[in-house]
Amino acid sequence: MAEKLETIERIRRFNRFYMACIRVMDRTYLNSEYSVTESRILYELGENSGCSAKYIADKMNIDKSYLSRILKRFSEKGLLKKRVSEEDLRSYSLTLTQSGQEVIDELNRRSDREIGDLVSELTDAECGEICCAMDMITKHLS
């Protein structure tokens, strides 16, 4: 049990460290007008064109009412198109508009630059170690 408690503390410590590294505690994500959650929803919409709100809510483990309010704002801003799903007439198929795709493309470029800056001083071997560690974490916690 002591080993599990140590693991819990170390994961929490790492999360605090990494969240500060990538500045997810800032009011907005990457100095954009979007929060981290909104940016992640845009990302999921871009990666999973035609998906449903239920898919995003389940994938992100996000409250459906909160997601619905965000999707409504995205639609009002012209970032999102909603169409009645062909499989389930009670559901909508969600797709980014050209404007929405441009927003997520810019956020992806900013994120790549920021992470690139973070690892710019590391050697290839150190980058490899980090990648292996992340792969192992993903494997064991999936």
User: For residue range 36-76, what is the model confidence (pLDDT) as tens digits?
Assistant: 999 999 999 999 999 999 999 999 999 999 999 999 999 99
Name the one residue in this structure whose structure tokens are 């907005």: 28
pLDDT of residue 81: 96
Q: Which amino acid belongs to residue 104? A: I
b (16+ CB within 10 A) / e for 50-88: ebbbeebbeeeebeeeebeebbeebbeeebbbbeeeeee
Residue 10 tokens read as 């170390």
Say yes or no to pLDDT of 87 above 80: no
User: pTM to 2 decimals?
Assistant: 0.85
Q: Please, what is the angle between helix 64-76 and helix 36-47, to 10°?
A: 80
d(CA 95, CA 45): 6
H/E element, 9: helix 2-21
Instruction: Indicate the pLDDT class of residue 89, thresholds 50, 70 and 90.
Output: confident
If you average pLDDT over residues 31-37, what whole number do you get?
92
